[in-house]
Copies of this chain bind each other. A is one copy, B any other.
Amino acid sequence: MKISAKGEYGLRAMAILALEYHTGPVPLREIAKREEISHQFLEQIFISLRHAGLINSVRGAKGGYTLAKAPAKIKVGDIIRVLEGPIAPVDCVAKNAEAACSRSTFCLTKGIWQRLRDSMTEVLDDITLADVIKKSDSEPGGK
Binding site for B on A (CB under 8 A): 1-3, 7-8, 11-12, 15, 76, 80, 84-85, 87-91, 107-112, 114-116, 119-120, 122-124, 127, 132-133, 135-139
- 28 chain-A/chain-B pairs, Cβ below 8 angstroms: A1-B1, A1-B2, A1-B3, A1-B7, A1-B84, A1-B85, A2-B91, A3-B90, A8-B90, A8-B109, A12-B107, A12-B108, A15-B108, A15-B109, A108-B138, A109-B132, A109-B138, A110-B136, A111-B135, A111-B136, A111-B138, A111-B139, A112-B123, A112-B124, A112-B132, A116-B124, A119-B119, A119-B120
Is B80 touching A1 in the complex (CB atoms < 8 A)?
A: yes
Is A112 touching B11 in the complex (CB atoms < 8 A)?
A: yes
Give Cα A115 to B108, complex, Å.
27
Give Cα A123 to B7, complex, Å.
23
